């Protein structure tokens, strides 16, 4: 059954502009609809807060914070916010509509993905989060449900409903807000959130894309939280044989339980992802995972939840005094016993043994070793240096037997100031021993001052922002007695504030002086139009006419209502009357007064008594003003004479 038919908003027009066509999804905080902006004639997504939450100022504040935060990002991989407002009890965001599916839909349908596809999805996700992190925000709820994949292949990050400023205290109440399967240990244990919690969640998402299953499963949310705290995410190759060791390392780095070991934000992780991709062969990128890896799981663990941190505190187990300390630690640090997996240290030792064996073989075959050294030993490869500090890069080059050449500097929106954004030759390229490598060091993002736009028309203000290296963001309209309609009142952030080039600037635009909407109900249509036009308003006539107490051709209703305020040039919709509904008058002669009144009112009439001198003490209806069986307007008055 189509449940959207039962949704009271479907078919309605919010704020006189957004026509709600269908419900897309329902969450704990809001419902998302497909809608049409009737002014610009474009399809968009309308995120409407549940009315029961709209009375809570903290929820409304979080909702509006999402609009302002996302509007400031203006990134091609972030779902754009166009507008924010309210209509009665409905608080809404008007957002970009992405036709397609979520990453969760893809994983349910296909299970594990090839590494190439997984990295193709992860890179734009990290680019979006990197823009948020460098703008000072943390998403806090990254998961496959919030990754949208358009029909055209575009990848976008959605639902910044839990976004917080990096330097904001996120929790003091003993609860954790997020999705169980993607929470970082520090979120669970301390309730803190900086960009590294998004890095951790992306590492979990990468593991899930590579294997088709989440790394930590359990019978309850508490058991999953416990594993996040006490167990490393296993290497994906333990589930999907044939996956490259570099992918294991990438997942391990992103999901390190100690935050300091992880990349400090999504930009650094994106740099590592690109290095990993560059190190993999085509065969390694196209490993086909077994279809059996696709998993069905409890959707409850995919929902954003408020989780008491008490659930994550492990109960102490009995201590055996004869047991070795290491065994005690292993026993108490796990909720469930997992099968042993090869550690990175063992894998590293295996590679060292392999190198030693190869060297021994070369020594045995002396001549071959000499030829190998002459042909290849004079060359090396440029080590990976991206996102390293200048000092670290120089140390790595020296360790590789290479010289540091020219050191250049360039602006970068994605790479931290003072770190490497490029080398010549590029990382991995073959170079002769002791040759020099040119380094390009990031100067950080280019910064721009917000220009003074007060008094500019909106289109001119947008052009000035673009010429200044900034982007026009969310537009909010307000009444103003001083600034003409359509001109800028102010900006957020304010004039003179320094922002990264490409940042979005919110604009407040004047709706002009407020106009009192006159009451035109009951007027002839022509007179009503004239009154509204004289008040500086436009008129729209509703397509359907209705029965009302007013004569046919008169105004039965208006939107907005009389005595409300509108901006000059706003539209008032008039509904025209087709006259009152005609109803047959019942026969009440001979009935008692009470019975007569009850019958007339049940038929839609008003009853009025006429007793005169002779009917002061009577109780029987002797006459009625409208004959029984005649038709009269519903709501009109019938006078009954009592004797």
User: Which of the residues are catalytic?
Assistant: 141
Instruction: Say how many Å lie between the first and final Cα of the chain, rounded.
Output: 61
Say how far apart CA 471 and CA 309 lie, in whole Å.
40
Tell me which DSSP letter residue 550 carries.
Answer: S
Say how far apart CA 20 and CA 340 lie, in whole Å.
54
Strands 471-478 and 504-510: parallel
From residue 546, alpha-carbon distances to 285, 437, 555 in Å are: 66, 81, 10
Residues 376, 378, 379, 384, Cα dihedral to 10°: 120
Nearest to 162 by CA among 186, 192, 141, 190: 141
From residue 367, alpha-carbon distances to 355, 361, 362, 380 in Å are: 19, 11, 8, 21
464 membership: H or E segment, kind and range: helix 458-467
From residue 474, alpha-carbon distances to 52, 82, 462 in Å are: 26, 6, 11
Strands 538-541 and 571-576: parallel
Residue 539 pairs with which residues in a beta bridge? 572
406 membership: H or E segment, kind and range: strand 403-410
Say how far apart CA 607 and CA 585 lie, in whole Å.
11
From residue 116, alpha-carbon distances to 143, 207, 273, 285, 542 in Å are: 19, 13, 11, 5, 55
Strands (E), 542-590: 555-559, 565-567, 571-576, 582-584
- How many other β-carbons are positioned within 10 Å of the β-carbon of residue 165? 13
């Amino acid at each position: 059954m189509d449940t959207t038919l039962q949704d009271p908003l479907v078919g309605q027009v919010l704020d006189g502009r957004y026509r709600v066509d269908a419900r897309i999804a329902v969450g704990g905080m809001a419902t998302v609809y497909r809608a049409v902006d009737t002014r610009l004639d474009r399809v968009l997504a309308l995120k409407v807060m549940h009315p029961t939450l709209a009375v809570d100022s903290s929820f409304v504040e979080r909702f509006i914070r999402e609009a302002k935060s996302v509007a400031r990002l203006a990134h091609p991989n972030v779902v754009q916010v166009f507008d924010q407002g309210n209509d009665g009890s409905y608080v809404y965001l008007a957002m970009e509509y992405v036709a397609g599916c979520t990453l969760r839909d893809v994983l349910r349908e296909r299970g594990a993905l090839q590494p190439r596809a997984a990295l193709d999805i992860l890179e734009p996700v990290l680019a979006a989060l990197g823009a948020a992190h460098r703008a000072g925000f943390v998403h806090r709820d990254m998961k496959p449900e919030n990754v949208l994949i358009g029909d055209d292949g575009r990848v976008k990050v959605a639902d910044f409903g839990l976004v917080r400023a990096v330097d904001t205290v996120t929790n003091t109440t003993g609860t954790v807000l997020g999705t169980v399967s993607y929470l970082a240990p520090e979120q669970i244990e301390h309730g803190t959130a900086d960009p590294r919690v998004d890095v951790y969640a992306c590492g979990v998402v990468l593991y899930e894309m590579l294997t088709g299953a989440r790394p930590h499963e359990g019978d309850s949310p508490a058991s999953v939280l416990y594993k996040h705290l006490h167990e490393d995410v296993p290497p994906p190759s333990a589930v999907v044989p044939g996956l490259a060791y570099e992918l294991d390392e990438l997942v391990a780095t992103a999901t390190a339980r100690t935050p300091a070991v992880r990349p400090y934000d999504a930009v650094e992780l994106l740099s590592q992802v690109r290095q990993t991709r560059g190190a993999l062969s085509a065969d390694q990128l196209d490993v086909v995972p077994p279809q059996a890896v696709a998993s069905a799981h409890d959707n409850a663990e995919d929902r954003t939840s408020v989780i008491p941190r008490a659930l994550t505190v492990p109960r102490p187990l009995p201590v055996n005094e004869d047991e070795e300390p290491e065994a005690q630690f292993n026993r108490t640090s796990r909720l469930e016993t997992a099968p042993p997996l090869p550690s990175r240290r063992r894998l590293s030792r295996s590679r060292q043994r392999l190198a030693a064996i190869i060297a021994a073989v070369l020594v045995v075959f002396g001549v071959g070793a000499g030829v190998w050294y002459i042909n290849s030993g004079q060359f090396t490869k440029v080590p990976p240096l991206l996102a390293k500090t200048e000092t670290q890069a120089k140390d790595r080059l020296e360790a590789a037997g290479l010289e540091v050449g020219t050191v250049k500097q360039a602006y970068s929106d994605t790479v931290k100031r003072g770190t490497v954004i490029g080398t010549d030759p590029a990382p991995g390229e073959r170079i002769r021993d002791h040759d020099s490598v040119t380094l390009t060091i990031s100067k950080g993002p280019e910064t721009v001052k917000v220009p003074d736009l007060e008094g500019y028309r909106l289109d001119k203000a947008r052009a000035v922002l673009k010429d200044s290296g900034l982007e026009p963001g969310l537009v909010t309209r307000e009444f103003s007695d001083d600034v003409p309609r359509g001109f800028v009142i102010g900006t957020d952030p304010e004039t003179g504030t320094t922002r990264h080039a490409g940042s979005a600037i919110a604009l407040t635009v004047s709706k002009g002086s407020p106009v009192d909407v006159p009451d035109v109900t009951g007027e002839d249509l022509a007179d009503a139009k004239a009154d509204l036009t004289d008040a500086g308003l436009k008129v729209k006539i509703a397509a359907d006419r209705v029965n009302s107490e007013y004569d046919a051709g008169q105004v039965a209703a208006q939107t907005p209502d009389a005595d409300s305020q509108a901006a000059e040039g706003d539209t008032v919709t008039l509904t025209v009357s087709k006259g009152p509904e005609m109803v047959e008058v019942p026969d009440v002669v001979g009935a008692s007064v009470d019975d007569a009144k009850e019958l007339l009112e049940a038929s839609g009439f008003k009853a009025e008594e006429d007793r005169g001198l002779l009917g002061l003490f009577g109780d029987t209806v002797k006459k009625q003003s409208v004959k029984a069986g005649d038709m009269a307007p519903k709501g009109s008055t019938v006078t009954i004479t009592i004797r």
